[in-house]
Amino acid sequence: MRETIIKLLDEHNIKYELFEHRPIKTVAESQELELPHMEWSTKNFFLRDKKKKNYFIITTHENKKVDLKDIRTVLGTTALSFASDEDLTNMLGLISGAVSPFGALNDESRKVKVYIDRLFEGNLMDAHPNDNSATMFLQADDVIKLLQETGRTAEYIELPEVTE
């Protein structure tokens, strides 16, 4: 899977830095790796609406606190919840901990929509290349453009931060 993403990025002349590491599943584990550019680290949610008709990959900064109700409001959908591991495997061919916008490239039905927090616009972001034993850093604008050029829905959105 990683090789497919690398090949696609190379074919589209997209620059990236690739770092191999032990498999990680959580933000806390990623912070232990001491990778460069950690100020642009992400967390990703694979979500679905109440009727399981719409699926989304939501990407935001790893330290940003967001609420599913706020995401629902921004997207204008019915109630959202986390998609199951079964949906993750069946739709994206991924395991828990490997979700990133690149997962949408495995969605042959093109049902999954990708939304990246606008704070990454014009900046770097990290993403697993559909493999949680590697992390890439690349321009978020290139990720959006690549997904759109391959027929996927991908755009920036404003995600409000939850304040305590």
Q: Which domains does the chain have, with CATH numbers?
A: 2-157 (3.90.960.10)
Chain position carrying tokens 């090949």: 7
**pTM of the predicted model as reported, rounded to 2 decimal places:** 0.94
Residue 136: the pLDDT is: 96
Give the pLDDT means over successive 10-residue stretches in the chain (164 positions).
93 96 84 85 95 96 94 94 95 93 95 97 96 95 97 95 77
**Contacts for 140-147 with beta carbons within 8 Å, 24 or more apart?**
140/116, 142/12, 142/14, 142/15, 143/101, 143/102, 143/116, 144/114, 144/116, 146/8, 146/9, 146/12, 146/14, 147/101, 147/104, 147/105, 147/114
Residue 117: the pLDDT is: 98
Residue 164: the pLDDT is: 64
Residue 128: the pLDDT is: 94
Residue 32: the pLDDT is: 82
Residue 23: the pLDDT is: 87
Compute the distance between CA of residue 155 and CA of residue 115 in angstroms, rounded to an integer.
Answer: 5
